[in-house]
Structure 1
Amino acid sequence: MDQSNHTRLDELAHFLKTRRARISPEQAGLPNRGRRRTPGLRRSEVAQLSGVSVDWYTWLEQARNIQVSAQVLENIARALQLDPNERKHLFLLALQQLPADLAPIEDTVSPPLQRFLDLQGTSPAYVTDARLNVVAWNRSASLIYGNYELMSTRERNTVWRTFTSPYVRQVLQENWESHARHRLAHFRASYGKFIGDPWWMEIIEDLTRVSPEFRAWWPKHDVLNGPEGKKINHHPKAGLLVFDQISFLATDAAHLTVTINIPSNEDTISKLEKLLSD
């Protein structure tokens, strides 16, 4: 275990001890069985209230590198009667992420970022949030991938659209499966930060119900982050379009990903220019 991880776990252990020390058995709804050598709850009592073993909770307070789930952290937060800021701090120390209900989901972009998208011209460009919803785009992206203005929030989710839209299958043709598997692996990697969140549970349930491919591939637990590289599209009007894809995080909103599909050849540029001029 590297030094930074050790320091984080040590901070977590001290934080738990201080929160435990400030709560009396009466405050926690437990009987007070006489004089105590130290103030607050015993480790065994926190373990009991949290639904974990005494040994497991002891290891947590000993800064051991053990597996911790979001659900157990929620139980500990309730047992220790943490306020919202303390609960957030607990999750950051234990999992290095916010609780699912506090993780920012951005549905707008800053004016400079939108101008940046618009300035990409013949390069279809869009922004996705932590749920892989498209939250901003330029005109080229709408012309190639569909009119986002007319789509519902669910339809603008790139995973939902990949697995349910006949138009996406038409545009991708023989490349649909590789694209869908990559998109699903990215979705699975993102889901790891929000396990148990109602929004994620609902869309996973709905995709499992409506898409046989999603139903077959989701249990495989493939995870992947990063761009897809070369993109080959078959546009119903412009024909064959070839792009190189790059993605990066927005500096003014770290939970937003900017994706740009750059035309790979002059023929693609010419076709995009004609679409944009129509």
Structure 2
Amino acid sequence: MTTMVQEQAVAGSEIRRHELAAFLRSRRERITPEEVGLPRGARRRTPGLRREEVAHLSSVGVTWYTWLEQARDIHVSVQVLDALARTLMLDASERVHLFQLAGAVDPTPAASCTGITDAVRMTLDQLDPLPACVQNSRYDIAAYNRTYSRLLCDLDAIPPEDRNCMLLVHTHPEWRSSIVHLEETMRLMAAKLRASMAGHLSEPAWKMLVKRLQTESPEFRENWERYEILANRSKTKQFRNPHVGLLNLHHTDLWLSPEHGARLVTYTPVDEATRERLEKLYLLAVS
């Protein structure tokens, strides 16, 4: 009986590898070079992207990626799966399918959003027009109210797996343009992430975030190599919102789950002009 179970497990694993290979090929072939910023070239015959192009864009070896499409029995880390999902422009359902075929658990906040109770959501809603959100120690944005959704960009338009303050401040043009003191903010946030990561050094989601930031942001690479450490603290921040103008805000963290780093982040106006502008922003968000 044990031998039969083992044989079934081996057969199931082989079927998943072949399905994964076919899935990757199908998604690779549907993406044009222009969509990922590559020249088409006059001699291109491959529909979509070449294997070496996917490997390069995902920062993995060409041989290794070729083996993956050949259904070889190789280990695939969650960091690589995340990179492939972004390179191949997978939507939420396709991303879930990719991780299931690989027999891996997706560590991104889009895959599992826990700890946001109805009471927490009600609190967020009641705080409008004060911007507020719930973040964890990795700076994933797990929930937010309507004013916060338009504070720095149209957050609803951001895929859930990319709703991370570290990613947004280093890679999202509209988010970056809304921060008055951008260079200082990036340096301080890298130092905060370094401090927070001390208790999560072996966790895939944390390593995946840092690798992505290092790949996509020269500013993060430079600040990360400084090895500065900074604890979370409340402070006054300035944002330049494209709809209502300059906002002067007090930033406050209210801890919901200290052991997991979950906190309610709130912004309150420093002056009357900011209070009025927040009210306008809220009306814009709900209209």
Work out whether residues 234 and 253 of structure 2, in 8 Å CA contact, stay in contact via their aligned partners in 1.
Answer: no
- 1:114 — aligned with what? 121
Work out whether residues 188 and 222 of structure 1, in 8 Å CA contact, stay in contact via their aligned partners in 2.
Answer: yes
Provide closer, same or farther for how the CA distance between residues 108 and 251 of structure 1 changes in structure 2, counting only shifts above 3 A. closer
TM-score, reference length from structure 1: 0.58
- 1:163 — aligned with what? 170
Structure 2 SS opposite 1:154:
helix
- 2:159 — aligned with what? 152
Take 1:162 and 1:107, find their aligned partners in 2: how far apart are those partners?
24
Work out whether residues 136 and 260 of structure 2, in 8 Å CA contact, stay in contact via their aligned partners in 1.
Answer: no
Structure 2 SS opposite 1:227:
coil
- 1:180 — aligned with what? 186
Q: 2:133 aligns with which of 126, 136, 142?
A: 126
Structure 2 SS opposite 1:224:
coil
Provide closer, same or farther for how the CA distance between residues 206 and 142 of structure 1 changes in structure 2, counting only shifts above 3 A. same
Higher gyration radius (CA):
1
Take 1:178 and 1:107, find their aligned partners in 2: how far apart are those partners?
32
Output the amino acid matched with 1:125. Answer: A
Q: CA deviation at 1:107?
A: 3.8
Structure 1 SS opposite 2:281:
helix
Q: CA deviation at 1:269?
A: 1.0
Q: Quick check: 1:222 aligned with 2:228? A: yes
Work out whether residues 200 and 206 of structure 2, in 8 Å CA contact, stay in contact via their aligned partners in 1.
Answer: yes
Q: 2:254 aligns with which of 245, 248, 254?
A: 248
Work out whether residues 161 and 168 of structure 1, in 8 Å CA contact, stay in contact via their aligned partners in 2.
Answer: yes
1:196-238 Cα offsets, whole Å, 9 max, x none, are: 2222222212211211111111122111122350110111110
Q: Where in structure 2 are there 5+ consecutive unaligned residues?
A: 1-106
Output the amino acid matched with 2:272. Answer: E
Output the amino acid matched with 2:239. Answer: N
Q: CA deviation at 1:268?
A: 0.8
Work out whether residues 246 and 261 of structure 1, in 8 Å CA contact, stay in contact via their aligned partners in 2.
Answer: yes
- 1:202 — aligned with what? 208
Provide closer, same or farther for how the CA distance between residues 133 and 267 of structure 1 changes in structure 2, counting only shifts above 3 A. same
Q: CA deviation at 1:277?
A: 2.3
Take 1:151 and 1:169, find their aligned partners in 2: how far apart are those partners?
14
TM-score, reference length from structure 2: 0.56
Work out whether residues 124 and 262 of structure 1, in 8 Å CA contact, stay in contact via their aligned partners in 2.
Answer: yes
Alpha-carbon RMSD: 2.1
Provide closer, same or farther for how the CA distance between residues 207 and 265 of structure 1 changes in structure 2, counting only shifts above 3 A. same
Take 1:275 and 1:262, find their aligned partners in 2: how far apart are those partners?
13
- 1:236 — aligned with what? 242
Work out whether residues 133 and 153 of structure 1, in 8 Å CA contact, stay in contact via their aligned partners in 2.
Answer: no
Q: Where in structure 1 are there 5+ consecutive unaligned residues?
A: 1-100
- 2:276 — aligned with what? 270
Work out whether residues 118 and 139 of structure 1, in 8 Å CA contact, stay in contact via their aligned partners in 2.
Answer: yes
Work out whether residues 182 and 228 of structure 1, in 8 Å CA contact, stay in contact via their aligned partners in 2.
Answer: no
Work out whether residues 167 and 213 of structure 2, in 8 Å CA contact, stay in contact via their aligned partners in 1.
Answer: yes
